[in-house]
Amino acid sequence: MSGSTFGKIFQLTTFGESHGAAIGGVVDGCPAGLKLDMAAVQQELDRRRPGSTPLGTSRKEADTVEFLSGILDGTTLGTPIGFIIRNSDAKSSDYDHLKHAYRPGHADLTWEQKFGIRDHRGGGRASARETAVRVAAGGIARQLLAAAGVRVQAYVSQVGAERLIISPEELVLENTFSNDVRCPDAPTADRMQALIEQVRSEGDTLGGRISCVINGVPAGLGEPVFDKLHADLGKAMFSINAVKGVQFGSGFEAIALRGSQHNDAYVKKGEHIGTATNRSGGVQGGISNGEDILFDIAFKAVSTLMRDQSSVDRTGNAVTLEGKGRHDPCVVPRAVPIVEAMACLVLADHWLRQRTAQL
């Protein structure tokens, strides 16, 4: 009951801490016979790893995945797929000053209140370091979904007040990883990068938004009532560090629309029935309708600042925490592969579940 397992059929269990010997995972429920492109899985990790962009943390990790079971000659066996990612650049001494003090905005205090003990080294298991395991597992799920014609693409659409105003339909999403910000529009990416560099020079941080587009999703995915597709996608996104909001389709803008304005009108589209506006974001009644699934994720600013902050220690005494460490001034550029991975895990699970829904 530790909350470390995700999914119903296609399941991922993760383990490990930020400064332990390694982090790792076990994927269970992946069908046998899937021919895996191992280089493609590693590429997913390369896009997330520390040091993958100069706008992020200075921690350097190769993030090379080592598969231990469940695969023979690159093909899945239908048995649990175990793997590890070794930690090689952990500098635990950098966190000695946090043994008895709590960082503002972090999980230090709440984690200790829950377990009575915590790993202060880089946040332990509460660290975003754990998400590397999700990206590796998501790389497997992505290849399973590709066989079904499903494609998941995420990109940075906002950094601080700098926002991309071009619609997903007008973007060339293949350009997302052509710059360090992970925004597919070059002029907007340049402005976002300048803002991140400015804020970092001030010792501060800022938040952002990631948008996700999922193409080729067949109608019918989603399990009423509690496992609705957008509910599971929302839970997956909220499980990512620093996420404070998720919206599908028109999201909160729907508040200002009347029903006559917001309803997606059904139309004939090629060989299937589709909608004219897709304000629902591709999900209706918790079930995919065959349209593209569209959603946005809001990330708060990183809590660790490169400036002193006031806090308290375990005895309640006021302390001043020195601003130091290796952290991203804005998490969204490196979070793009994480969003994609979690979306892939959800879709792979629901795709397998749908195969048992009808005779």
CA distances from 347 to 205, 206, 284, 343 (A): 32, 30, 16, 6
Tokens 């090689």 -> residue: 88
Looking at every residue in the chain, the average pLDDT score rounds to 91
Residue 339: in which H helix or E strand, if any? helix 332-354
Residue 171 · residue 155 · CB < 8 Å: yes
- 348-357 residue pLDDT tens: 999 999 999 9
- Nearest alpha-carbon partner for 210 in 231, 232, 192: 192
pTM of the model: 0.93
Q: What is the pLDDT of residue 342?
A: 98
- Where residue 6 falls (left for φ over 0; alpha for ψ -120 to 50; beta otherwise) is beta
Q: What is the pLDDT of residue 348?
A: 98
Report DSSP state, residue 274: E
**Which ranges in 58-209 belong to alpha helices (H)?**
108-115, 131-146, 186-201
Q: How confident is the model at residue 359 (pLDDT cuts 50, 70, 90)?
A: confident
Provide the residue type at 294 as one letter: L
Q: What is the pLDDT of residue 159?
A: 98
Provide the residue type at 97 as one letter: H
Secondary structure of residue 122 in the 3-state scheme: coil
Q: What are the structure tokens assigned to 127, written together?
A: 């660290």
Domains of the chain, earliest start first: 5-354 (3.60.150.10)
> Number of C-alpha atoms within 13 angstroms, CB side, residue 19?
14
Residue 266 confidence (pLDDT) above 90: no
- 154-197 residue pLDDT tens: 999 999 999 999 999 999 999 999 999 999 999 999 999 999 99
Average pLDDT over residues 282-308: 93
Q: Whole-angstrom Cα distance, residue 71 to residue 81?
A: 7
Q: How confident is the model at residue 111 (pLDDT cuts 50, 70, 90)?
A: confident
Residue 218 confidence (pLDDT) above 60: yes
Average pLDDT over residues 217-235: 97
CB atoms within 10 A of CB 186: 11
Determine which of 8-17, 202-211, 266-275, 294-303 has the lowest per-residue pLDDT on average: 266-275
Q: What is the pLDDT of residue 54?
A: 77
Residue 53 · residue 333 · CB < 8 Å: yes
